[in-house]
Structure 1
C-alpha cells in the first residue's frame, strides 16, 4: 500500500467524497462497497466509517456537496434582468445534471431517492433560487406568497423534466429550457406576476 499523505480531516473527507463520486458515477448505487471506496482512496475502512457511517450517508454527503457547488454557480450577477438571471440559473442546473447523470439518477430514481437526506440539498438550492427570484422581482405581501407557491411548483417541474430529459433523450436541451421558461411565465402569470 502506498504511503499516506498528511491531510487535514476536511481534506481527507473531501478526498473520500471525490473518490466516492467517481465510484458512484461508474457503478450502480447497490453495487458500491464502502470498503472498495476506502481502498481506492488509500484510506482505512475505519476512517471511511468514521466520516460516513453508512453508504446512504456517504452518498448524501456527496450529493449535498455537489448541490452546494451548483448553488454557487447558479447565481450570476452579470444578467440584465430577473428573467435572464433565472434562465442563467436554469442553464447552470442543466449543465450540472448533464455532467452528473449517474448521480442524478441515484438521487431521483434509485431505492434511496425518497430519502430526506437526498431530497434536502435539492430543495434547499431550489428554495434559495425561489427566494432570489422573489427578492429581485420586488414582490411583497400576499402576492409574494402566491408567487412563492407558483415558483415551488415550477421547481418540482424542473426536477421532473430534467430527469425525463436525461433518461429518455427525446427533448433537446433548448426545448427543455424553452418549456421550463414557458411554464415559469405561465405560473407567475397566474400568480399575477411577471419577470
Structure 2
C-alpha cells in the first residue's frame, strides 16, 4: 500500500516499454511487490514494475522523507492519468481505508520540520495498537488515513506515533475529536464505482 506522492506527466521508454517514473510514500516497504494496484479514491489501476532507488530531498524535507521512507517507483504507462495523493492498494487484496479529521491536536514530540508532509504512523487508543496509516498536519489542521484499523470515536484520546524514530525519539502527537470523513471497504471481487 502506498500514497502516490507525484508522478511524471510524460512516459519514458525503458526496454521497449513506456513507463511512468513516480515517487511514493509506502506503508511498509517490505510488503511492496511488483503487481497491479488500485487507487482507492479514483479506481485507477496501475502496475508497479519496480520499487527502489534513491531520492535526495531538499534540506527542509529531510526529516519527513526519512520518517515516511519516500521512495521512487516505476509504474506502467497507465499511471500517467493517476491522481497524486491517491491511496493505492494491491488489486488482489481486501482492505479498508478510512479518511479522518482531528479537532484537537497536542504535539508531544512532533517537530515543525514534518508539518505539511504525509508521515507513516501507527494509531493507539488506551495503549492498544489500532492500525497503521498516514498523518498530515499543518497550521490549518490535519488529515489522517487509517488502513485496516478500528478506532473508537466517542471521547478518548488517540496517540499517533511515527513508525520510525527521529533522532532516537518517538515522533508523536495526541489527538482528540477524531471524525470519520470517508470510508472505503475494498474487495478485489467488487468493482469500485
- Normalising by the smaller structure, the TM-score range is under 0.3
Q: Which has the larger radius of gyration?
A: 1
> How does the TM-score come out when normalised to structure 2?
0.22
Structure with bigger strand share is 2
Bigger RCO of structures 1 and 2 (CA < 8 A, at least 6 apart) = 2
